[in-house]
Amino acid sequence: MANIILQVICSFLFAVGLLFILLDIRTRFDRSFRFFGVSLILLCAMTAIDIWLIPNAATLSGTLFWQRAYHGIACIFIPFSLWYLCILTNSPILRLIPTLIMVSSLMAAAFLGGLMIIARGGQVHTTLGYNLVFLPYVVFYVVTAHYVILKRINKCAAPEKRILRFHLAGFAVLIVGGLLDIGILMGVVKQVLTSFTVLGVLAFGIMASLIFAERFLMILLDRQTTFDKLESAYRDLEQVTALKQLGESTAIINHEIKNYMFMISGNAQILQEMESLSAKGKDIVKNIVSSVERLTDFSDDILKLSRTEVIREKHPVNLPEIIKGSIEKHFPDMRASFTMTGLERDRFMFGDWGKLEQVFVNIFNNSIEAGNGDPVDVKIKLTATDTLLLVGIEDNGVGCDESQLENLFKAFYTTKKLQGGTGLGMSITRTIVESHGGRISAYSKNLAKRGEHGLKLIMTFPIYAEKMAEVSERKHPIVVVKDGLDNLADLIRVFRNLRVTPAIVSSVDELDEAEYPPETVTLLVSAKAMASHFTKLAAYPQLCLVSNHERNQYVLDHGRGNRPEVFSEEYVVSRMLRRQMPRVRLKERQHHLVG
């Protein structure tokens, strides 16, 4: 019965190995799948010889032949198993594989030629060549395989580390079984089972197959994520293409429109000055002139939108001076409405003064108009990091709902059509900010359902453009656990706007305290992950719960209080990057979380 079970398992593993080979040939997912499949088939062939052929050999010559075939296949297995391990771990030993294949082929030929195993005295015995050549080769293989795994296991992420640990355990079982069988053949170990290698092969095959199946699913998920990003990028490219076509034709159309508008405006003004008109007639002419002026402004906005691109001629500009100058120049009678924080010191960036001034004039105009005639308080806060300037502009106007927030930066979208709005102001603002290498995000206070209303815009600008690549490669002490997060893309967008690169793990189980020390990292998790892994997460003093509600991400920082805050660029800079959270004792922390 046990023999039948082993045969079934062996046949199953052979089919799995064949599946991995065909899978890689058809999809080109990862070459390690192909060589793992070959290794698995070779192991199954060795197992088949042990289970079916050697026990059923009727003569000594038959047993001798299958022993030689068994060892010949083992020689071929060595380079192929190292091949897939080197690909899996990106090991430089991969360069030695062609040499190992040649050595293994010569050794397999030596086995089949009768130089390694012979029949003597009615039994199968090993020769001196077996002891001096094959055994050291096996030792070299064992040491090399473990070296490749152990060297990589200390540097890789948690998912890959788990895969390599299972490989390490599987190799240990396989090698112990093989060494016991070699001891039996040399007469050193007493034969208790027909073959110890069979058990090692099957245990390793099952373990490695499960791991490779999991790795295949991980690759599929990564490919799907990449496909989604490409699809999003393609949609963005289509929009850029449309804007490019608009830009190519706008100048000509704009010129013709301005010619006609000039004629209409000129004739209207002549009519207004030279003809005796009734009061009603004068109002009509006045409306014509006013409409022409609005149409001219709209035409200019279209031209600005189509021509805005990456600013190539950048000069050092003082951002606080631009903001204060915009208020003094365009809103001199409303200075009392503006509250400024962090603008006392000079903060320089590279950019175009005029375009940046247009950004702040557009935003301040929107904030003031959001009061619908009532006084509006506009709060401006400038924060600086080593590489970024962060500007937050917050008002207490009418704010916006979820639908309006979603369309805020879309061209031609406006809620003020009756007041002459064109829907281009915020679109132009975003384009100018991004042309300076910056990012802009919007957060509505209305969505928090706290009785507050208003809009908050957060812009980030790089201080030194040449440092961007260096900063983007730097890992920050922030870890995001994906499990249970409703809108991971919005969370990552906030970090990307700040050039912050957090570590991302799939689940709490992948948190390794050696890799992510609780005292040094800030951990972002969902309520679902917190509920199911309470004990483990309680060890992290810098823990934040993240939830999603009506397009806003909210974060609850257990080290600072119990009121959720909007997860924004400003929150990351002020709470996560500028200073360390205080250490909270475990018992106090557990009491607080339960409460």
pLDDT in tens, 225-242: 777 777 767 766 666 665
CA 432 to chain centroid: 26
CA angle 224, 226, 231 (to 5 degrees): 95
Mean pLDDT of 498-519: 80
| Contact in structure between 203 and 172 (CB atoms under 8 Å) | no
Question: Positive or negative, the Cα torsion across 545, 546, 548, 551?
Answer: positive
pLDDT: is 542 or 302 the higher one?
542
Q: What is the pLDDT of residue 255?
A: 63
- What's the rounded Cα separation, in Å, for the pair 481 and 511? 9
Residue 321: pLDDT band (50, 70, 90) is: very high
Q: Which residues pair with 123 in a beta bridge?
A: 120
Asked whether the predicted pLDDT for residue 261 surpasses 80, the reply is no
Residue 581: pLDDT band (50, 70, 90) is: very low
Q: What is the pLDDT of residue 535?
A: 80
Domain chopping of the chain, boundaries:
2-213, 232-307, 315-465, 474-594
DSSP H helical ranges for 154-278 = 158-185, 196-274
Residue 527's identity, in one-letter code, is: A
Residue 105: pLDDT band (50, 70, 90) is: very high
pLDDT tens, 342-375?
Answer: 998 888 888 888 889 989 998 998 898 888 778 8
Total residues found in the chain within this entry: 595
Tokens of 19: 């599946």
- Least confident range of 27-41, 148-162, 294-308, 390-404: 294-308
Asked whether the predicted pLDDT for residue 156 surpasses 80, the reply is no
- Least confident range of 358-372, 400-414, 417-431, 521-535: 417-431
| Phi and psi, residue 550, nearest 5° | 50, 55
CA angle 296, 302, 305 (to 5 degrees): 140
pLDDT: is 501 or 455 the higher one?
455
pLDDT tens, 476-495?
Answer: 788 888 888 877 778 888 88
- What's the rounded Cα separation, in Å, for the pair 410 and 423? 8
- What's the rounded Cα separation, in Å, for the pair 386 and 176? 55
pLDDT: is 72 or 553 the higher one?
72
pLDDT tens, 8-48?
Answer: 777 877 887 788 788 778 777 667 778 878 888 888 888 88
What value does the CA radius of gyration of the chain take, rounded to a whole number of Å? Answer: 36
Asked whether the predicted pLDDT for residue 408 surpasses 80, the reply is yes
Asked whether the predicted pLDDT for residue 196 surpasses 80, the reply is no
For domain 2-213, which architecture applies? Up-down Bundle (1.20)
CATH classification (class only), 474-594 = alpha beta
Secondary structure letter of residue 583 according to DSSP: P
Residue 107: pLDDT band (50, 70, 90) is: very high
Asked whether the predicted pLDDT for residue 394 surpasses 90, the reply is yes
Neighbours of 76 (CB within 10 A): 19
Q: What is the pLDDT of residue 234?
A: 72
Q: What is the pLDDT of residue 338?
A: 93
| Contact in structure between 555 and 571 (CB atoms under 8 Å) | yes
Mean pLDDT of 332-346: 90
Q: What is the pLDDT of residue 29?
A: 65
pLDDT tens, 72-85?
Answer: 998 998 999 888 88
Q: Which CATH number fits domain 315-465: 3.30.540.10, 3.40.50.720, 3.30.565.10, 3.50.50.60?
A: 3.30.565.10
- Least confident range of 61-70, 122-131, 302-311, 334-343: 302-311
First to last CA, the chain: 58
| Contact in structure between 51 and 58 (CB atoms under 8 Å) | no
Q: What is the pLDDT of residue 341?
A: 92
Q: What is the pLDDT of residue 377?
A: 92
Q: What is the pLDDT of residue 594?
A: 40
Asked whether the predicted pLDDT for residue 201 surpasses 80, the reply is no
pLDDT tens, 136-152?
Answer: 998 898 889 888 888 88
Asked whether the predicted pLDDT for residue 391 surpasses 90, the reply is yes
The pLDDT mean for the chain works out to 78
Nearest to 383 by CA among 488, 526, 306, 498: 498
